[in-house]
Amino acid sequence: MTAQGQPVTAAARPAGLAGQEIPYDLLLKGGHVLDPGQGLNARLDIAVAGGKIAKIAADIPAAQAARVLELRGPGRHVVPGLIDVHTHVASGAIAKGVGVGMCEADAIGVHSGVTTVADCGSVGIANIGVVPAYILPRAKTRIVTLINAGSYGHAMPGPADINSPDDISRRAITVGAEHNPGLIGGVKLRLVGPVFQTAGEAVISTAKAVAKDLGVPLMVHIGDATATDAASAARREELTRFLLEAFEPGDILTHLCTPRPGGVLDRSGSPYPEVAEARANGVTLDSAIGLGNFGIEVARRQADLGLYPDTISSDLTIGSQTFHSLLECMAKFMAVGYSLPDVIKATTANAARALGLADEIGAIAVGRDADLSIIDVVDGDFTFTDTNGQGFTGRYGLVPVRTIKAGEEFAPGWGTHPWGWLPESAPEE
């Protein structure tokens, strides 16, 4: 097993070049460049100037850059800046003790190998004002904000964001969007709580109408732990099918592998016919793991069926930040059987497309922002736990080494676990 996250070697610029022009600010030298969205998989140098990718070539002389990172090493890869399409980073938007605790964007972003995060419904129209005022200005990580259909976001005490269809203020959201151009990247709805027993269709239709008003995707959380009796569980199944029919191209289903009532597989383990129809119609299937929505049996069954997630995301909150990371979520999917290129594509090209940003992020290309993640793929015997507490094993761990965001370089934090970034090691036999 290779050591995790060994420091990169930063070479000093060769002496004797005084007066000569240095065209590049930063040179990533000798790295294994992997960008499955573009079919790029080769040892290449990448030069950065003015925050943009300036050149990609087999050999760019070190003397042409002010700073050089030597990236040869076992398992070391340079990939497009990773994108986590489901997180909660509205730290400070919600009073402590009320609702869901939020992460600091940079802790789970640039200091965790991730250059872009989507905040998914942490705030609603009543508290979204904190995002442009306090959260975006202090984050180096790019944040895409999906507004909760419910007015207070995740601030409501108890499990539900919405308790009546009237909790969606369609007019306020429209006015808020008009006055904050570019702020709202999507609408988020959670199919959680008793309202879905009685008025589920009306709530889904209203949230869809709001997203349509704004011209943004609707992301919907499936899987409801509050649906504990058989009748409620059957109702969640019905609503998931209704939802898949209501979705339009670009909309996002999140928690694909949920073991909770309302998942996409019927009781015999077959997907509802609406799933294939939705996918054919351009709906994104996101697998946000979080603390409750990743069943290993569900994930394995879906892999066997070819029902793979388009995007892999973490659903990180303060409660899960010390439990896993986006990289560890990717390692979990590698343990299910997905390849490294599969999980990279799901967190780069596919994730960029899901957020409507495929022309800007998610690819390593000349002229684009230099958003790059340098990661180590570490071989080992690792153990993971699904959100039902069931253990499983995997052969790979992923460790962030450096993050480059628009040309700026960030070192990783300590990691999610007391021992650092790697998943837990399996006990020796």
Residues at the site binding Zn ion, with contacts judged by CB under 5 A:
120, 315
**Is 311:287 a contact under the CB 8 Å cutoff?**
yes
**Residue 355 Cβ, how far from Zn ion at the closest point, in Å?**
15
**Residue 88 Cβ, how far from Zn ion at the closest point, in Å?**
6
**Residue 154 Cβ, how far from Zn ion at the closest point, in Å?**
8
DSSP H or E stretch at residue 313: none
Pairwise CA distance, residues 326 & 318, whole Å = 14
**Residue 315 Cβ, how far from Zn ion at the closest point, in Å?**
4
Q: Which is nearer to Zn ion, 314 or 350 (CB)?
A: 314
**Residue 118 Cβ, how far from Zn ion at the closest point, in Å?**
10
Cα of 298 vs its chain's centroid, Å: 20
Strands (E), 305-420: 372-385, 391-405, 408-410
Pairwise CA distance, residues 388 & 204, whole Å = 27
Pairwise CA distance, residues 302 & 263, whole Å = 11
Residue number, nearest CB to Zn ion: 315
**Is 206:170 a contact under the CB 8 Å cutoff?**
yes
Q: Which is nearer to Zn ion, 120 or 173 (CB)?
A: 120
Q: Phi/psi zone of residue 223: left (φ > 0), alpha (ψ -120 to 50 degrees), beta?
A: left
Distances (CA, A) of 29 to 8, 35, 45, 63, 372: 10, 16, 5, 12, 13
Q: Which is nearer to Zn ion, 192 or 330 (CB)?
A: 192
Cα of 254 vs its chain's centroid, Å: 11
Q: Which is nearer to Zn ion, 148 or 373 (CB)?
A: 148
Q: Which is nearer to Zn ion, 77 or 190 (CB)?
A: 190
Q: Which is nearer to Zn ion, 71 or 120 (CB)?
A: 120
Q: Which is nearer to Zn ion, 120 or 330 (CB)?
A: 120
Burial of 367 (0-12, 13-18, 19+ CB in 10 A): exposed
**Residue 327 Cβ, how far from Zn ion at the closest point, in Å?**
18
